[in-house]
């Protein structure tokens, strides 16, 4: 399966930046403390988010900031920034038994359904933006 923890850590990272950037420098070390991950992992994700045009990162302890309006950043944007584009969401076993009627036809049976599921997921991710998630976070602050 394609979706890894990079996606949820990247969302978490973006929310930490959105929540705290007015109060302090949001460094990879600070974000790592919130995500309970290694600062190196966060720096790698920040690099991907920067390359996607979502954040700006100042070298050293300058911190990270979001460079687009939160309402304009969807979960799809974050997903595209951190997950490899050349992989399918659903992994498929390589060698189904072609002597079995199910094995021989499993791709014909499932491929269209899996593509529909994947498309529905992408459509939903395009409907959720970072501003909405920030609003959902505020009661916990």
- Mapped onto helix, strand or coil, the DSSP state of residue 115 is helix
Q: Which range marks the domain in which residue 79 is found?
A: 5-140
57-114 pLDDT tens trace: 998 778 999 999 999 999 999 999 999 877 778 877 878 999 999 999 998 999 899 9
In order, the DSSP letters of 17-73 are HHHHTTTS---HHHHHHHHTS-HHHHHHHHHHHHHTTSEEEETTTTEEEE-S-GGG-
pLDDT the model gives residue 59: 83
pLDDT the model gives residue 90: 81
Whichever domain contains 111, its CATH number is: 1.10.10.10
pLDDT the model gives residue 1: 53
- Residue at token pair 């974000």: 31
For the chain, the domain total comes to: 1
Confidence of residue 17 (pLDDT cuts 50, 70, 90): very high
Confidence of residue 2 (pLDDT cuts 50, 70, 90): low
Q: What is the DSSP letter of 93?
A: -
pLDDT the model gives residue 85: 77
Single pTM value for the model: 0.89
- Residue at token pair 């790698």: 44
């Amino acid at each position: 399966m394609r979706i890894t923890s990079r996606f949820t850590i990247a969302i978490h990272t973006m929310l930490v930046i959105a929540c705290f950037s007015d109060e302090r420098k949001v460094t990879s070390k600070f974000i790592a403390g919130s995500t309970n991950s290694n600062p190196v992992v966060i720096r790698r994700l920040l690099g991907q988010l920067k390359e996607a045009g979502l954040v700006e990162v100042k070298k050293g302890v300058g911190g990270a900031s979001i460079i687009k309006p939160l309402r304009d950043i969807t979960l799809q944007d974050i997903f595209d920034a951190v997950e490899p584009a050349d992989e399918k969401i659903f992994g498929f076993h390589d060698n189904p038994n072609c002597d079995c009627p199910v094995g021989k036809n499993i791709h014909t049976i499932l491929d269209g359904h899996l593509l529909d599921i994947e498309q529905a997921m992408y459509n939903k991710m395009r409907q959720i933006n970072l501003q909405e998630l920030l609003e959902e976070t505020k009661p916990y602050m």
